[in-house]
């Protein structure tokens, strides 16, 4: 399909969440011409928008930082990249505090565990990511020269001699080529590959799939966090785990508090809690003993729901929530392709086998700026982007009238049943074969909607990396649980790298 050249940028940032917006602001501050390209409206899409706005970060005191690092590593089951964690710890507090500059309404407090301030916390009141993303967009529009391109989906990166040259984007079924000296990928995660998810429908793994097609490997893709704190009926809402410190409980169908035996009860690591929930026939959120003052002040949506649905039971279930894996992150956010940087959930390596609550937004505030600054530095050292060609060719399927919804739904259903909380070799093997069958089906379709087709292709690539990596890891660790290998095995202390075709395992000591 003929692809028209649309524009040139020094730094092209892909994504409309917080990681992308921070990267764009910092690249612009460095004096570069920046374009922010987002599939849906920047600031009104992605996980940042629907997040609970909670940033947890290490305090300044060294002893408390050590404690924070120990907790972080314990949560990631020892396979977090220590260099990345060091950066998060050293810069987290300063970078979250710096967000005030953009007018973000964050309230800061200390979290006190056993009398020790283990971490600091900043969040909005009420806890809504929208209170961060909307002012951030406003800041970009009014205080920076960043050009925002809403509604453009990045389809594939363009490369020349191992260096990124821009990308192909789609809007309204037409393709465009956008040239750039440097590109920052901040396309978020891929929760939408699962039938049950807390993610928005734009999170279809596009960044992972583009990276793989450009020849990069992804790491830790088997580690998908399932969030145990979602109520799905009679109304849908997320619960911030603090609520359990104020008297809330999870009860099973027999009225038992099934987390009673665990030291942190419902505040156990998310993977442990999610699996325990998965084993119950039904899980109800019991708020009968919850402090009403806390509820009204901190969780007004739940408070309102209690009144509106008085006498009804709030049922909860785990949902696919966060991808620990992704494009291998480095402290300077560079990737294996010159000029290509990544930040936010599309990257992998910081969180290891499981993510600690409140650390993803802190991650965006640390690595978003780093990606923007490094991309700007790279762009400053490049020659002008050439206007060598006005049109490009990009292979797309023959247009037709077919809908890809069936393929997409079949994939999401299968990922939930076979590649979610409890995994086995036979189910994973069948999942890998089903993904291949669905890929064949997709290749044969004549789509009515090109964007849906591109998204579906990306979901299949991402799902394949998750299922393949899960199949190789013959142990249970963090968010990855194998029924046939229920124990953690020290032989698997390391990361699996996948390029969508082959896999390799790198031991921690060989990294």
Binding site for ligand FAD (CB under 6 A): 14-20, 37-40, 45-48, 50-54, 153-154, 186-188, 198-199, 202-203, 206, 238, 321-322, 344-345, 358-361, 364
Q: Minimum Å distance from CB 180 to ligand FAD?
A: 14
- Kindly state the smallest distance separating residue 430's Cβ from ligand FAD, in Å: 28
Between 453 and 492, CB nearer to ligand FAD:
453
Q: How far is the CB of 146 from ligand FAD (least distance, A)?
A: 15
- Shortest reach from residue 227's CB to ligand FAD, in Å: 7
How many residues are given for the chain? 511
- 497 - beta bridge partners? 219, 504
Q: In angstroms, what is the minimal distance from the CB of 253 to ligand FAD?
A: 26
| Residue 200 · residue 46 · CB < 8 Å | yes
Q: Which is nearer to ligand FAD, 89 or 428 (CB)?
A: 89
Minimal distance, residue 153 CB to ligand FAD, in Å: 4
On the CB side of 204, how many CA atoms lie within 13 Å of its CA? 22
CA 190 from centroid of its chain's CA atoms:
7
Rounded to the nearest 10 degrees, the angle between the axes of helix 82-98 and helix 62-75 is 120
Q: Which is nearer to ligand FAD, 348 or 397 (CB)?
A: 348
Residue 191: Cβ within 10 Å count: 26
By C-beta, is 218 or 251 nearer to ligand FAD? 218
Sign of the alpha-carbon torsion through 320, 241, 307, 251: positive
Separation of alpha carbons 147 and 385, rounded Å: 17
Our CB check for ligand FAD shows the closer of 39 and 77 to be 39
Query: Closer to ligand FAD at the Cβ: 53 or 418?
Result: 53
Cβ contact 346:207 at 8 Å? yes
Joined together, the tokens standing for residue 340 give 């290509």
Residue number, 56 or 473, with CB nearest to ligand FAD: 56
Q: How far is the CB of 323 from ligand FAD (least distance, A)?
A: 8
What are the angstrom distances between the C-alpha of 86 and each of 56, 65, 109, 205, 467?
A: 15, 10, 22, 27, 30
Given the complex with ligand FAD, which of 230 and 477 has the nearer CB atom?
Answer: 230
What is the closest distance, in whole angstroms, from the C-beta atom of residue 279 to ligand FAD in the complex? 23
Provide, rounded to whole angstroms, the least separation between the CB of residue 344 and ligand FAD: 2
Q: In sequence order, what are the residues at sequence separation of 6 or more whose Cβ sits closer than 8 angstroms to the Cβ of residue 221?
A: 208, 323, 325, 326, 348, 462, 465, 466, 468, 469, 496, 498
Pick between residue 187 and residue 418 the one whose CB is nearest to ligand FAD.
187
Angstrom CA distances, 432 to 154, 171, 500, 501, stand at 26, 31, 11, 11
Give Cα separations from 500 to 78, 368, 396, 468 (angstroms): 25, 26, 20, 8
Closer CB to ligand FAD, 431 or 456, in the complex: 456
Which of 282, 322, 276, 324 is closest to 421 using CA atoms? Answer: 276
Q: How far is CA 473 from CA 152, 253, 351, 423, 504, in A?
A: 37, 33, 17, 11, 11
Least distance to ligand FAD from the beta carbon of 364, Å? Answer: 5
């Amino acid at each position: 399909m003929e692809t028209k050249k649309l524009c040139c940028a020094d730094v092209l940032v892909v994504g409309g969440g917080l990681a992308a917006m921070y990267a764009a602001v910092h690249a612009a501050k460095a004096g570069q011409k920046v374009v922010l390209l987002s599939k849906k409206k920047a600031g009104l899409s992605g996980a940042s928008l629907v997040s609970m706005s909670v940033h947890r970060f290490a305090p300044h005191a060294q002893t408390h930082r050590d404690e924070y690092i120990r907790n972080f590593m314990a949560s990631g089951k020892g396979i977090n990249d220590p260099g990345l964690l060091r950066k998060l710890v050293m810069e987290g507090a300063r970078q979250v505090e710096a967000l005030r500059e953009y007018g973000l309404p964050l309230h800061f407090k200390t979290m006190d565990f056993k009398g020790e301030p283990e971490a600091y916390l900043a969040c909005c009141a009420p806890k809504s990511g929208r209170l961060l993303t909307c002012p951030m967009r406003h800041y970009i529009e009014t205080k920076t020269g960043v050009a925002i391109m809403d509604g453009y989906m990045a389809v594939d990166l363009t490369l020349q001699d191992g260096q990124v040259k821009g990308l192909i984007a789609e809007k309204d079924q037409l393709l465009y080529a956008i040239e750039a000296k440097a590109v920052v990928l901040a396309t978020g995660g891929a929760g939408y590959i699962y039938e049950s998810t807390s993610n928005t429908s734009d999170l279809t793994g596009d960044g992972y799939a583009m990276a793989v097609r450009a020849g990069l490997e992804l790491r830790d893709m088997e580690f998908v966090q399932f969030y145990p704190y979602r109520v799905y009926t009679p109304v849908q809402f997320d619960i911030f785990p603090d609520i359990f410190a104020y008297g809330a409980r999870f009860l099973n169908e027999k009225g038992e508090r099934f987390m009673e035996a665990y030291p942190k009860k419902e505040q156990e690591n998310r993977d442990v809690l999610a699996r325990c929930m998965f084993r119950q026939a039904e899980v109800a959120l019991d708020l009968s003993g919850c402090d009403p003052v806390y509820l009204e002040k901190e969780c007004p949506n739940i408070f309102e729901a209690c009144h509106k649905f008085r006498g009804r039971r709030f049922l909860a279930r785990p949902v696919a929530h966060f991808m620990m894996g992704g494009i291998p992150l480095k402290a300077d956010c560079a990737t294996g392709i010159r000029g290509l940087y990544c930040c936010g959930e599309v990257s992998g390596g910081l969180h290891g086998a499981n993510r600690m609550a409140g650390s993803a937004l802190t991650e965006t505030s640390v690595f978003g700026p780093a990606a923007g600054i490094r991309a700007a530095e790279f762009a400053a050292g490049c020659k002008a982007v050439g206007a060598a060609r006005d049109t490009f060719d990009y292979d797309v399927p023959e247009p037709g009238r077919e809908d890809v919804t069936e393929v997409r739904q079949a994939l999401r259903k299968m990922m939930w049943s076979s590649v979610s909380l409890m995994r086995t070799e036979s189910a994973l093997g069948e999942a890998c074969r089903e993904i291949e069958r669905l890929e064949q089906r997709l290749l044969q379709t004549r789509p009515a909607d090109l964007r849906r087709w591109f998204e579906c292709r990306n979901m299949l690539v991402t799902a394949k990396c998750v299922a393949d990596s899960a199949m190789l890891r013959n142990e249970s660790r963090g968010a990855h649980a194998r029924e046939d290998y229920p124990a953690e095995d020290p032989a698997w202390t390391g990361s699996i790298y996948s390029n969508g075709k082959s896999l390799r395992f790198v031991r921690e000591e060989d990294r």
